[in-house]
Structure 1
Amino acid sequence: MIDGIYILANDVVYDQLVALLNSIEANAGRKIPICILPYNERLDKVRAEIASRDNVTLFEDSDSIAYWDNFAIQIWKNYPRAQKTWREWGFPELYELPMHRKFCAIDGPFDRFIYFDADTLLMGPIDYVYEKLDNYDWVVNDFQYKSDLKFIFDGSPEQIQQIFNSENLQSKVFCAGWFATKKNIFSPAMRGDILDKLAAGEADVMAFLAPDQSLFNYMVLRSGVSYYNFAFHDCQQATGNHWGSKFDVVDNILYDQGRRLTYLHYMSISSSNFVRLCGGEDVDIPYRDVFLYYRYLKSPEKRPQSFTRPSKIMLLQKSTSSFIQQRINNIKLNYRNFKDRITN
């Protein structure tokens, strides 16, 4: 039985990836093999980092990548309402498809695994998560169930009830930025059945802002795999994980009312903020010193010793320009790759 960790990354999130890898090494409690799933082909820095770590590899199964790319394409290109909405937002019709490469973990080398978004820091041992997979197929630890259901499913209440037939659906949704499951959890037969159901009209309940998250939730619920959320089923002991919460910091570990966090998630904070911070700019990021500690854990001499704050106008221009350019570059690259696959 091989336990492992998957992370979706590319060079855009390099600073966050290094911080995450260092936090795993420092806090996981044991050495755990890690596999990087490629968000796209921008991987020069990632490859160099992998070469420096003996427990980290790059996922290079091109057949699996092509399969899950096409799986997502089949779902979203046949969903007119999603495509119309994305066009209105100024995005291409195949929006954020590389995020679906998280699914490649199902085909990877680990029998049991935990998936981490790159904008995450591990705060404590995770053996208890693997152990929970002895009794459940899908394990999470987040409070997404307290948010508006429309972030996960955006159909009418009647549609949602008809499809999922669940009176407590709200309690079963989760954030797709951190989860644990098993190899081959979705069999080929399950995948075919899901594609048929979505093509028959069930896709109309999917949300658009985070399409991969909506699809993960749909597949877990619709396939009927057993599910456990520490933050719901053991809420008295569960801790928060969102950067917006107030935690105590002790020796670069975060605590929630005396309980050690499992992980901290920087969701929705632009990667450009972390790049600027590591470049010596005085960027206001929650738990900044904790992030910097892990980012430079193996190279403390490279950690910025002082920070400069540009004028408000320069800061706004730089932040806006960096974010837009990063988004444009990723969209162009990913859209070209996926379009080539469709036409070829």
Structure 2
Amino acid sequence: MTDGIYILGNDVVYDQVVALLNSIEANAGKKIPICIIPYNERLDKVREEIAARDNVTLFENSAAITYWDNFATQIWKNYPRAQKTWREWGFSDLYELPMHRKFCAFDGPFDKFIYFDADTLLMGPIDYVYEKLDNYDWVVNDFQYKSDLKYIFDGSPELLKQVFNQEKLQSQIFCAGWFASKKHIFSQDMLVDILNKLEAGEADVMALVAPDQSLFNYMVLRSGISYYNFAYHDSEKATGNHWSSNFDVVNNILYDQERRLTYLHFMSIGASTFTQLCAGEDVNVPYRDVFLHYRYLTSPELRPQSFRVESPLMRLQKTTSSFIQQKVNNIKLNYRNFKDRITQ
């Protein structure tokens, strides 16, 4: 039986991918096979990085990629509220569709796996996670259950009561940026049943800010597969993992009240911020030196030695460019909405 790690990535998050790969190599305690799932075809730098590492491969099962792209498309294309909401926000009709490619992990080479978003760093060994998969189908380690349910499910209270077991609902929601599971954990019959339920109206429970996360939560809860959250079931020993927490740093390892973190998640910090940092710009990134340590662990000579502060003029240019782009997007959106109305 093969244990492994999946990462969703492309060249846009290249600096984060390199930092994550280096943190795994440094802190996992052993060499673990890693497979990078392509977010899209922008992979030139990622392919070069893969070629330099003997334990890293690219997920190239085109049939699986097509299947899960179509699976997500079928769900969201048949969900009118999602289409309407994303258009109002100025997004495409299939907002963040490539994020659903992390589902490809269920058809990959690893029997048991841990999935990492690219904006994470491994802080310690993960054998205990694979061991927990001997008894559970889905394993997480986060405090999403303490947050507002609306970030995962924002359907009406009446519909939520119809769809989910209310005793488990709040305690079993999770962040889809880091989780562990098994190959083919969702059978074909399960997937057909899930699609039927969603198309019958249950899709209306799902929140739309992070559609892949809402869908993962729906599938785990609705399928009834076994679930374990270290942060919930073993809260006395659990550590935080989000960058907003105040952790101690010792030799580039983060600790929460003297307990070593398993991973650090830079969730909600844009990839462009890390690109700017690695280009030598003085941008605000929590645990910046820790990130830079892992990003340049194997190439310390390339690490920026000083950081330049962006000039007011450059900042104004970027702000103006962003404003103009938003105006263009709004014009496109208004035109599309007008076109939709006259063709109805």
TM-score of the pair, normalised by structure 2: 0.92
1:167 Cα offset (Å): 2.3
SS in 2 for 1:232: helix
Aligned to 1:46: 46
CA deviation string 1:299-340 (max 9, x = no partner): 000000100101345236437858998xx9xxxxxxxxxxxx
**Separation in structure 2 between the aligned mates of residue 319 and residue 23 of structure 1, nearest angstrom:** 34
Gaps of 5+ in 1: 329-344
1:255 equivalent to 2:255? Answer yes
The percent identity for this pair of structures is 80
Distance 1:15 1:320, change over 3 A: farther
SS in 2 for 1:264: strand
**Is 1:155–1:206's contact at 8 Å kept on the other side of the alignment?**
yes
**Is 1:281–1:307's contact at 8 Å kept on the other side of the alignment?**
yes
Aligned to 1:228: 228
Aligned to 1:267: 267
Output the aligned Cα RMSD: 1.7
**Separation in structure 1 between the aligned mates of residue 299 and residue 319 of structure 2, nearest angstrom:** 27
Aligned to 2:63: 63
1:6 equivalent to 2:6? Answer yes
Structure number with larger C-alpha Rg: 2
SS in 2 for 1:255: strand
**Separation in structure 2 between the aligned mates of residue 175 and residue 29 of structure 1, nearest angstrom:** 25
**Separation in structure 2 between the aligned mates of residue 161 and residue 63 of structure 1, nearest angstrom:** 37
Q: How many corresponding residue pairs?
A: 327
**Separation in structure 2 between the aligned mates of residue 200 and residue 324 of structure 1, nearest angstrom:** 41
CA deviation string 1:27-73 (max 9, x = no partner): 00110000000000000000000000000000000000000000000
Aligned to 2:198: 198
Q: Partner letter of residue 205 of structure 1?
A: V
Aligned to 1:31: 31
**Is 1:154–1:205's contact at 8 Å kept on the other side of the alignment?**
yes
1:21 Cα offset (Å): 0.1
Q: Partner letter of residue 293 of structure 1?
A: H
**Is 1:272–1:322's contact at 8 Å kept on the other side of the alignment?**
no
1:253 Cα offset (Å): 0.1
Gaps of 5+ in 2: 329-344
**Separation in structure 1 between the aligned mates of residue 197 and residue 275 of structure 2, nearest angstrom:** 42
**Separation in structure 1 between the aligned mates of residue 284 and residue 313 of structure 2, nearest angstrom:** 16
**Separation in structure 2 between the aligned mates of residue 317 and residue 211 of structure 1, nearest angstrom:** 32
Aligned to 2:160: 160
Q: Partner letter of residue 91 of structure 1?
A: F
Q: For 1:121-140, what aligned pairs fall within 5 Å after superposition?
A: 121-140=121-140
1:228 Cα offset (Å): 0.2
Distance 1:319 1:191, change over 3 A: farther
Distance 1:163 1:324, change over 3 A: farther
1:158 Cα offset (Å): 1.0
Aligned to 1:144: 144
**Is 1:142–1:240's contact at 8 Å kept on the other side of the alignment?**
yes
